């Protein structure tokens, strides 16, 4: 049982009182935001066949197996209940029309840097937004059901955001959520198969990352990926970013960072990961945020990337001296 059951019941009430429900994940989608959006759509549609339910936003190649997103006109938002999933701040929402609905709901597990919504559920103890969707499902039994494809989408969200059940926040609750997905017909094999596949271009690029990473004095492993490098290897910036955890294996580097360059937006972004020190505070100082051990930051230029490395090198140094 989640301590937030009352709020999840409020979400259920909001759904019952709206004819149209629109679910919005975040920009530059990942498995958790799309799995949560498509899984929640499935729960609502399966439980309320008469309602109009849409999941909108951006698709991405490796997650196409979850199903396609909906494309809707502005009018559809009129009197709709809009549910944002896995989206900490409003600017990051995958569709700017979220304000056009009648009711706005936030369901998210990131640190609450931007409070929004008529109903706001933020649970930083949940390792995946998809696990929160399962809390919503459980809190409203026996009124909600789902199909096997909805179970598959939610499993994908939990699996990807927990790094295959390895990250902080994974608990008994996570496995109970997965057990409930199995009760609803989950077949995990297509999920593992889809997530396993890498393009040959990306496999070669992984080779580049493993041969060219660097380390700071106190143990921040990093790789800087320019747009030109992505072009040379014929991989997208998002694909390149997915390799961040290739730098997780060093015994002497508790922090690792993948930098990349978004040419169209003229910004350098960092994906920062940790297996010890809290790096979200540093990420916040660099126009970013997220979780204690997995954060992102928007840096602007490569000069700022070096400043971030200097700051993280300090964090690693302090951490190592405390460990001794």
Contact 111, 280 (CB under 8 A): yes
To the nearest whole angstrom, how small is the minimum distance from the Cβ of residue 86 to Mn ion? 4
For Mn ion, the closer CB: 258 or 315: 258
* Stretch touching Mn ion by CB under 5 A, among 122-130, 224-232, 236-244, 300-308: 122-130
For Mn ion, the closer CB: 107 or 186: 107
The residue among 72, 65, 63 whose CA lies nearest residue 22 is: 72
To the nearest whole angstrom, how small is the minimum distance from the Cβ of residue 161 to Mn ion? 4
For Mn ion, the closer CB: 137 or 213: 137
Contact 263, 233 (CB under 8 A): no
For Mn ion, the closer CB: 32 or 261: 32
The residue among 306, 284, 154 whose CA lies nearest residue 220 is: 306
User: What CA–CA distance (Å, rounded) separates 56 from 70?
Assistant: 5
Restricted to residues 46-85, the positions that interact with Mn ion (CB under 5 A) are none
* Stretch touching Mn ion by CB under 5 A, among 121-129, 133-141, 280-288, 296-304: 121-129
- The count of chain residues that interact with Mn ion, using the rule CB under 5 A, is 4
The residue among 133, 139, 145, 157 whose CA lies nearest residue 183 is: 145
* Stretch touching Mn ion by CB under 5 A, among 24-32, 56-64, 167-175, 216-224: 24-32
To the nearest whole angstrom, how small is the minimum distance from the Cβ of residue 30 to Mn ion? 7
User: What CA–CA distance (Å, rounded) separates 43 from 146?
Assistant: 5
Restricted to residues 25-44, the positions that interact with Mn ion (CB under 5 A) are 32
For Mn ion, the closer CB: 85 or 240: 85
Tokens of 200: 């040959």
User: What CA–CA distance (Å, rounded) separates 34 from 157?
Assistant: 7
Among 21, 47, 76, 86, indicate the residue that binds Mn ion (CB under 5 A): 86
Q: Does 161 bind Mn ion (CB under 5 A)?
A: yes
Tokens of 214: 């660097």
Q: Does 129 bind Mn ion (CB under 5 A)?
A: yes
To the nearest whole angstrom, how small is the minimum distance from the Cβ of residue 29 to Mn ion? 10
Q: Does 93 bind Mn ion (CB under 5 A)?
A: no
For Mn ion, the closer CB: 123 or 261: 123
The residue among 47, 17, 34 whose CA lies nearest residue 184 is: 47
- Sorted by sequence, the CB contacts under 8 Å of residue 82 that are 6+ apart come out as 21, 22, 23, 24, 98, 100, 101, 103, 104, 105
Restricted to residues 213-272, the positions that interact with Mn ion (CB under 5 A) are none
* Stretch touching Mn ion by CB under 5 A, among 66-74, 156-164, 258-266, 276-284: 156-164
Contact 51, 19 (CB under 8 A): yes
Indicate if the alpha-carbon torsion angle 322, 246, 57, 121 is positive or negative.
Answer: negative
**Residues in the site for Mn ion, rule: CB under 5 A?**
32, 86, 129, 161
């Amino acid at each position: 049982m989640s301590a937030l059951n009352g709020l999840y019941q409020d979400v259920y009430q909001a759904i019952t009182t709206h004819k149209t429900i629109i679910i919005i994940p975040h920009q530059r989608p990942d498995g958790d935001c799309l799995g949560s959006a498509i899984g929640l759509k499935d729960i609502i549609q399966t439980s309320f066949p008469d309602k109009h339910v849409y999941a909108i936003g951006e698709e991405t190649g490796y997650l196409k197996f979850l199903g396609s997103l909906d494309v809707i006109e502005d009018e559809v938002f009129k009197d709709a209940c809009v549910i944002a999933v896995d989206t900490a701040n409003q600017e990051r929402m995958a569709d700017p029309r979220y304000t056009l609905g009648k009711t706005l709901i936030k369901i998210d597990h990131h640190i609450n840097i931007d409070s929004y919504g008529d109903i706001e559920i933020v649970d930083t103890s949940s390792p995946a937004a998809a696990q929160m969707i399962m809390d919503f499902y459980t809190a409203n039994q026996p009124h909600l059901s789902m199909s096997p494809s909805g179970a598959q989408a939610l499993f994908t969200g939990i699996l990807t955001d927990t790094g295959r059940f390895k990250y902080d926040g994974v608990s008994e609750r996570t496995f109970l959520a997965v057990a409930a997905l199995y009760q609803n017909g989950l077949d995990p094999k297509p999920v593992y198969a889809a997530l396993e596949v890498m393009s040959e271009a990306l496999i070669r690029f992984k080779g580049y990352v493993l041969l060219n990473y660097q380390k700071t004095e106190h143990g921040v492993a990093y790789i800087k990926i320019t747009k030109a490098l992505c072009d040379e290897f014929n991989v997208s910036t998002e694909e390149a970013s997915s390799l961040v955890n290739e730098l997780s294996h060093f015994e002497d580097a508790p922090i690792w960072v993948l930098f990349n360059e978004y040419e169209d937006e003229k910004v350098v972004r960092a994906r920062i990961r940790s297996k010890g020190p809290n790096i979200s505070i540093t990420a916040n100082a660099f126009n970013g945020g997220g979780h204690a051990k997995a954060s992102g930051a928007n840096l602007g230029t490569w000069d700022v990337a070096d400043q971030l490395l200097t700051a993280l090198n300090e964090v690693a140094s302090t951490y190592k001296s405390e460990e001794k």
